[in-house]
């Protein structure tokens, strides 16, 4: 299939596909004359890249995971390790956000308390 069909099936853009090829994330496809010809495996890899990006992976991280990838076999062990690291990062971020949320609740209560103590009576 040509690049337009691969983009449509994978939910990416032609520009993104060309970029992924340029940075080595997607192997160069076969050619039929001037046209790139993509396989179903290329479309699956494009969908994996898009999904991983939506889950917070940067292209550099994906390059590290897919480094040296050829053919059918994806480096599942490297992918699994990267997912575990991403989960740890998210856990730390969530803990920091929960701490910030608790601080905001406490700060709001403090402001409301001091505002009640500072009201001026007009009686």
**Residue 72, pLDDT score:** 60
Examine the pLDDT at 4 and tell me if it is beyond 80.
Answer: yes
92: its two tokens: 């730390």
103: its two tokens: 């601080």
Beta bridge partners of 36: 31
1-73: in CATH 1.10.1660.10: yes
- What is the C-alpha separation between 65 and 73, in angstroms, rounded? 12
**Residue 113, pLDDT score:** 86
Q: Please state the domain extents for the chain.
A: 1-73, 75-123
List pLDDT tens digits, range 50-60.
999 999 999 99
Examine the pLDDT at 31 and tell me if it is beyond 60.
Answer: yes
Name the more confident of 106 and 114.
Answer: 106
Answer yes or no: are the C-beta atoms of 51 and 44 closer than 8 Å.
Answer: no
């Amino acid at each position: 299939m040509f690049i337009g069909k691969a983009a449509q099936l994978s939910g990416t853009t032609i520009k993104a596909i060309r970029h992924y090829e340029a940075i080595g994330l997607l192997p160069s496809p076969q050619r039929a004359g001037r046209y790139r010809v993509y396989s179903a495996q290329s479309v699956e890899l494009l969908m994996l890249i898009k999904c991983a990006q939506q889950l917070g992976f940067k292209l550099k991280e994906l390059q590290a995971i897919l480094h040296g990838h050829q053919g059918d076999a994806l480096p599942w062990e490297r992918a699994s390790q990267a997912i575990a690291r991403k989960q740890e990062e998210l856990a730390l971020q969530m803990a920091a956000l929960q701490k910030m949320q608790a601080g905001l609740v406490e700060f709001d209560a403090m402001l409301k308390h001091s505002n009640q103590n500072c009201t001026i009576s007009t009686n």
